[in-house]
Amino acid sequence: MDKGGARLSFDTADATATTAFLHPKQSLFGIDPFRKSCKPFAWKQVFMDPVDNQHVSLVQSSSSSSDGKRVVNEMDFFANNRSSTTQVKADDDHVKMESEHHGLVQENNEPEADINTGLNLLTTNTASEKSVRDHRIITSQNQKEKQRANQLEDVRAELERINEENQRLRVTLNQMNSNYYALQMHLGSLMQRQRNLRSAEGSEANTEMNSAIEEKRHGVAIVARQFMDLGQAAKAEKDELSESSSEGRFQELSGPPGNSIIESMERRQKNSGKNEIIPRDIPSRKDLMDPGRNQREDTPEGRSHQGWLSHKVAKFNTSRDVEKAQETTAMIRKARVSVRARSEASMISDGCQWRKYGQKMAKGNPCPRAYYRCTMATGCSVRKQVQRCADDRTILVTTYEGNHNHPLPPAAMAMASTTSAAASMLLSGSMPSADGIMNSNILPKGMLPCSPNLITLSASAPFPSVTLDLTYSGPNHRPLNQIHPPPPNWSHNISSLPHLLGHPIYNQPKVLGTLFTSQGTEHPHLAQNQMQPHSMADSAATAAAITDPNFTAALVAAITSIIGNSQRDISGNNNNSTSSRNNGDNNNT
């Protein structure tokens, strides 16, 4: 029996249920008064073995037998562990309690059984002793009530504690799920790139790749850890890793998906440079952490902050590399994820805190574009633009840029992870070649910006972007997970890929292989080289990421979060006074 007592609940055949809380140190003697009032000769008894404090018995007496004998039912809950025997004896008007009674084993349901309640009480028929016995019974009942109340409070407190624990675990689980989805996509992109490299390089490169695979395995584990702790911790981790591993490759593998834009851009640079090694551009990272600094970083003072990887910079610090690094910086900074959602509110709730720093009238749109900066941490580089769609003003287009350098609240995790994963997918998973998506525009014209498609990739200048369309609520629009036949031009239409969602069989490398094969070649590298600007492989790789059911789940989580928050936002904004100065803006979400 549990140390804190046991809760016994019986539902006997005659529909009487008795519940008692027992303390191991206490033997209980309980008589059901209600039942007794109905059936004067029926009673129940619950008691505990005083010897081992673990033996609990229920004794039930019934007056139903026609010959006047009581039928006693005993339930022994610990019969297997039983070392001493407690006997139960029922009598017409009293319970005889004997002192220590050992050695006699009485079978259940045996009438005329002796009773040993273990209370060490001697009972007779004298009035004084009866009153004493009654007093003890009452005292026992009072104690039982107190015990019960205490137990209830304990249980209640325990329940609250468990509930809190549950909430924490749920939050943790959500975070881990999001991280998992992002990681999976990241891994898929890495494997795709590995495949390309393997085919492109000779046996020497293959040897190198094998070591990379080993590093990758290690790196992925580290990725998971890093992704849980974005920001300085990840930065420090990278620093540490860079000292103990082969240089560039390991770093790119160990980057957390949250920072995968950076990694991806560097990968892009590598690939575009025909595998030449590009230095990890320090300003680019710094730029992400503090974009306002990027205009000042040309000064020696600005460069003085680059020390944490200066030994690498010196290694590859050619003017060409610097130039490429600057391009990388720009690309990283420009990589964007747009979210289209229907909202009456001026801003969708994404769990972060934002400060408006500007507003501008954009050409071709009567609605002003608002500029926000994340204020959850000093130096956080994330910015977002909020603008209503010109064609449908109920649609709010929110464009995110950059990576948070701080832990996110649970409410922000879904959106942040989704946008980060989308950006990662855009910049890495779909980029087997350098020129792939950047020089192509996968989208058919007219996809942007108000199409009802879920995901839209655009690599058109000046920066790559991915649009998550959450306006899928129309009656003519199908649910996300519903299976659709792929449209004929699906390979060029990433936004139609959600039509394939719901196929659980996909695993990204297989999908990639299948897609390459379906293109008519089994050699990814060959396929890549044969690709048109509207790259099939690019599309396929991205398709693999998007069609991953896990990505769907991440998206759905984000959508749910957004919709829920958005609706709360709406009601919240409706409560706000219609402040003209705020122009309906509510920065704190």
Partner DNA sequence: CGTGTTTGACCTGCGC
Partner DNA sequence: GCGCAGGTCAAACACG
Residues that bind DNA (CB under 7 A): 291-292, 295, 353, 355-364, 369-371, 375, 383, 385, 461-462, 579, 581-583, 585-588
For DNA, the closer CB: 65 or 299: 299
Report yes or no: 54 and 67 within 8 Å, Cβ to Cβ: no
| Closest separation in Å from C-beta 579 to DNA | 6
63/586 with CB nearer DNA = 586
Report, in Å, the least distance between residue 446 CB and DNA.
19
Q: In whole angstroms, how close is the CB of 370 to DNA at the nearest point? A: 7
- What is the smallest separation between the CB atom of 331 and DNA, expressed in angstroms? 11
User: Nearer Cβ to DNA, position 190 or 345?
Assistant: 345
Half-sphere exposure of 221 (CA within 13 A, CB side): 6
Shortest separation between residue 380's beta carbon and DNA, angstroms: 13
- Nearest distance from C-beta of residue 378 to DNA, angstroms: 11
Choice between 280 and 383, CB closer to DNA: 383
Of 413, 412, 440, 415, nearest in space to 426 by CA? 440
**CA 73 to each of CA 28, 117, 293: distance values in angstroms, whole numbers, following the listed order:** 17, 14, 83
For DNA, the closer of residues 125 and 580 by Cβ is 580
Residue with Cβ nearer DNA (54 or 359): 359
- Looking at beta carbons only, is 236 or 461 nearer to DNA? 461
Residues 453 and 497 sit within 8 Å (Cβ to Cβ): no
Tell me the closest approach of the beta carbon of residue 564 to DNA, in angstroms.
Answer: 22
Please name the residues in contact with 290: beta carbons below 8 A apart, sequence gap of 6 or more. Answer: 379, 381
Q: How far is the CB of 295 from DNA (least distance, A)?
A: 5
Residue with Cβ nearer DNA (219 or 291) = 291
Q: Which of 96, 100, 89, 78 is nearest to 24 (CA)?
A: 78
Q: Which is nearer to DNA, 382 or 494 (CB)?
A: 382
**In whole angstroms, how close is the CB of 462 to DNA at the nearest point?**
5
Alpha-carbon gap, residue 274 to 324, rounded angstroms: 13
- How far CA 301 is from CA of 6, 224, 306, 307, in Å, comes to 70, 34, 10, 12
Q: Do residues 562 and 418 make contact, with C-beta atoms less than 8 angstroms apart?
A: no
Closest approach, Cβ 461 to DNA, in A, equals 6
- From 75, 86, 22, select the one nearest 51 (Cα to Cα): 86
- The DSSP secondary structure of 214-265, one letter per residue, reads HHHHHHHHHHHHHHHTTTHHHHHHHHHHHHHS-HHHHHHHH--GGGHHHHHH
Q: How far apart are alpha carbons 337 and 93 in whole angstroms?
A: 82
In the complex with DNA, the residue whose CB is nearer, 282 or 454, is: 282
What's the closest the beta carbon of residue 288 comes to DNA, in angstroms? 12
The count of other CB atoms within 10 Å of the CB of residue 97 is 19
Asked whether the CA dihedral 513, 518, 520, 526 is positive or negative, the reply is: negative
User: Given the complex with DNA, which of 307 and 358 has the nearer CB atom?
Assistant: 358
* Residues linked to residue 486 through DSSP beta bridges, in sequence order: none
Q: Which two tokens stand for residue 462?
A: 């000046």
Do β-strands 465-469 and 336-342 pair in parallel, antiparallel, or remain unpaired? parallel
Widest CA span in the chain: 111
**What does the radius of gyration of the chain's CA atoms come to, in whole angstroms?**
36
Q: Count Cβ atoms below 10 Å from residue 135 Cβ, excluding itself.
A: 10
